[in-house]
């Protein structure tokens, strides 16, 4: 039996009639850029997180860039980011001319190690970007306490954790600004690229609305050099349909994770941890094994998909050689890159597929 890493076709088929109707309505309406569905989605995403404002943009990466710009972070500034995450978290910092300053992760949650943040803060530090990696919340209270002590902004990178909770609060609802990705494979994903920024700060929201549309306050009259980063109406229509199901889908992910936990507990693997403060939404189910590459080859031979997220920590990337980091600087991040492996996880995954995955891993 072939087991895919994700199955977006099955998800589409489960809501096909509703999805096709939503798309057709946009085509019939003829308004494709920043129309009523984008406005409706912004309102509903803000309400879902208990926030006042949300602004749709072209991608999760753009959301991070625009958040930094809206907070006036740029050349000469530093921003704290985890050394183990998707490149976009640090890339956005570099894109506005600031410098990413890396911090190691907690190997239990794969999120930034809050005990190491303060030692990396300098007079140039302006913000911290915690990442709720794989769907597990970072320890946001500890981060907010540190930020308050040092007068820093907190930008939540919630690209992988839509619907997750920290002490009963939605991730993406607690920072000064929060950023979301709607990449197709995300827990709430569209059929292309898309993103959003959410905040309680009206000035930040207004600035992002200007920055996403060429720096216009009035059309054709830019007041600053900005971007073309608008969420399309078609994507908003798709996301409005999926938003109604995301909590149910997240619950299915959690249930599949519990099956994995039970079945893999006897195997020689490190299974995901769910901290006492966390409601994990398992964007990915990531195990850790010492012979990771051999296991991945074995799974491929048995037609079980897997993926490595991520093969190299940010501080060792060629793009950041000028920052002067060395191997060994962040041992947990380096260990995660050598040993982690994402195995199949999606809401409608049949029990039979999960059993095939576990059987293949256990056999290895």
What is the per-residue pLDDT for 316? 98
Nearest CA to 259 out of 154, 359, 164 is that of 359
What is the per-residue pLDDT for 109? 98
pTM of the model: 0.97
Q: How confident is the model at residue 93 (pLDDT cuts 50, 70, 90)?
A: very high
Q: What is the pLDDT of residues 15-63, one digit of tens each?
A: 999 999 999 999 999 999 999 999 999 999 999 999 999 999 999 999 9
The full set of domains in the chain, from first to last, is 8-103+110-243 (3.40.640.10), 246-363 (3.90.1150.10)
pLDDT of 336 higher than 80: yes
With contact defined as beta carbons under 8 Å apart, do 48 and 170 qualify?
yes
At 45, which helix (H) or strand (E)?
helix 36-48
Q: What is the pLDDT of residues 103-157, one digit of tens each?
A: 999 999 999 999 999 999 999 999 999 999 999 999 999 999 999 999 999 999 9
pLDDT of 14 higher than 90: yes
What is the per-residue pLDDT for 265? 81
Q: How confident is the model at residue 318 (pLDDT cuts 50, 70, 90)?
A: very high
Q: How far is CA 238 from CA 28, 165, 230, 308, in A?
A: 15, 24, 15, 28
Q: Phi/psi zone of residue 324: left (φ > 0), alpha (ψ -120 to 50 degrees), beta? A: left
CA distance 115 to 146: 10
pLDDT of 343 higher than 90: yes
Tokens of 259: 């099956």
Q: How confident is the model at residue 310 (pLDDT cuts 50, 70, 90)?
A: very high
Q: How confident is the model at residue 6 (pLDDT cuts 50, 70, 90)?
A: very high
What is the per-residue pLDDT for 267? 75
pLDDT of 266 higher than 80: no
Q: How many residues does the chain have?
A: 364
**What is the C-alpha R_g of the chain?**
20
pLDDT of 268 higher than 90: no
What is the per-residue pLDDT for 199? 98
With contact defined as beta carbons under 8 Å apart, do 141 and 149 qualify?
no
């Amino acid at each position: 039996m072939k087991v895919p890493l994700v199955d977006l076709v099955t998800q589409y088929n489960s809501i096909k009639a509703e999805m096709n109707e939503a798309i057709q309505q946009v085509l019939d309406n003829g308004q494709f850029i920043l129309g009523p569905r984008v406005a409706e989605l912004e309102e509903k995403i803000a309400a879902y997180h208990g926030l006042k404002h949300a602004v749709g943009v072209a991608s999760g990466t753009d959301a991070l860039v625009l958040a930094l710009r809206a907070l006036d972070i740029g050349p000469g500034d530093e921003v704290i980011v985890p050394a183990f995450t998707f490149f976009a978290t640090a890339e956005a910092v570099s894109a506005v001319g600031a410098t990413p300053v890396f911090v190691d992760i907690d190997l239990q949650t794969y999120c930034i190690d809050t005990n190491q943040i303060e030692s990396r803060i300098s007079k140039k530090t302006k913000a911290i970007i915690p990442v709720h990696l794989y769907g597990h919340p970072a320890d946001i209270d500890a981060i907010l306490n540190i930020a308050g002590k040092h007068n820093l902004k907190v930008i939540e990178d919630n690209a992988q954790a839509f619907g997750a909770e920290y002490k009963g609060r939605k991730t993406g609802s607690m920072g000064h600004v929060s950023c979301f990705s709607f990449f197709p494979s995300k827990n709430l994903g569209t059929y292309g690229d898309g993103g959003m920024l959410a905040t309680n700060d009206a000035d930040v929201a207004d600035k992002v609305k200007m920055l996403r549309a060429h720096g216009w306050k009035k059309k054709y009259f830019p007041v600053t050099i900005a971007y073309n980063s608008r969420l399309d109406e078609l994507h908003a229509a798709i996301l409005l349909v999926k938003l109604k199901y995301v909590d149910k889908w997240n619950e299915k992910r959690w249930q599949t994770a519990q099956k994995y936990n039970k079945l893999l507990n006897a195997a020689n693997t490190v299974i995901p941890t769910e901290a006492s403060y966390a409601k994990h939404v398992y964007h990915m189910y990531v195990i850790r094994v010492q012979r990771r590459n051999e296991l991945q080859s074995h799974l491929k031979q048995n037609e079980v998909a897997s993926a490595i997220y991520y093969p190299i920590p940010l501080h060792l990337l060629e793009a950041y050689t000028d920052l002067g980091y060395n191997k060994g600087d962040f041992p947990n991040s380096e260990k995660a890159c050598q040993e982690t492996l994402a195995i199949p996880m999606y809401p409608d995954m049949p029990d039979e597929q999960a059993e095939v995955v576990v059987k293949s891993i256990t056999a290895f």
